[in-house]
Amino acid sequence: MGKDFYETSTAVRALFEEASDASKINLKALIFEGTEDELKQTRNTQVALALVECAASTCLHEHGIRPEGAAGFSLGEWPALVEAGVLPFGRMIRLVAERGRLMDEAGKRSGGSTMAAVLNLEPKAIEAALKAAGIDDVWVANYNSPAQSVISGTESGMDKAEAAIKEAGAKRVIRLKVSGAFHSPIMKYAYDGFREFIADESFADPKLDFFSNVTGKKESDGAELKRLAAEQIISSVRWMDEEASILSAGFTQCLEAGPGTVLAGLWKSVDTDVPCRPCSTVDQIASISL
């Protein structure tokens, strides 16, 4: 991912160098030559994604495209903080490297936890099914769309949850290849450690409209964004609310800066004529007409 950004942009190559220095990881080697197992380690995945998403934003800037608002899904909220002027790039990478390390460690300390995607069952129905079955160690982690959510929990709880959710009408429950139950109380070790790690950090007020995963709303205070940055580790990603807030703010076009088309896909479930276009390659960016 991101190789064409690297090959065509001097500014992106400089980002790779800065990110490698800040994270103490050779990110060029990891992203372009690393094994799947290396890339799937949380402490590596988060830094790699943050870098490539900022690389995509840099290429957008080089094509004369600058946003009036910023939002990001889960880890993607960190590159969005850079885009909005809340954090400088190098400092963001350093914080994300520690975030990834702590979340990786929290997963190992959990004694067995995981996540699963739930298809074709509304989030409220999932919550009701978990409550009715008396399952208190599984939570809705990602409110992605009316037909797709992600749950997080213990391994034993997940087995019970899968049966209860299917009985409630879910078409499929798909276990995800992750190292822990992210965006749930199981990540409290990471939350505590990260909150302490960023205690002396300063978060500027955003220079663009900025939308939060934790609240699903526009947030304009740097101190509050700092609090939410830690809170996000144990809180659900309220993406459906965030999409509604973006539309309410009057935006007429969204661009997904980074690898893949996941967010553009989720956007299709929103009842709107506002497009969301993927920007995962230089060619896709070059084809955008505003």
Residues that are catalytic: 74, 183
CA distance 104 to 42: 6
CA distance 224 to 188: 19
Q: Are strands 138-145 and 148-154 parallel, antiparallel or unpaired?
A: antiparallel
Q: Which amino acid is at 85?
A: G
Strands (E), the chain: 69-70, 113-119, 138-145, 148-154, 172-175, 209-210, 254-257, 276-279
Query: Can you name the residues that pair with 211 across neighbouring β-strands?
Result: 218
Q: Which letter, b or e, does each residue of 15-51 get, where b requires 16 or more Cβ atoms within 10 Å of its Cβ?
A: bbebbbebbebebbebbeebeeeeeeebbbbbbbbbb
Q: Which amino acid is at 227?
A: R
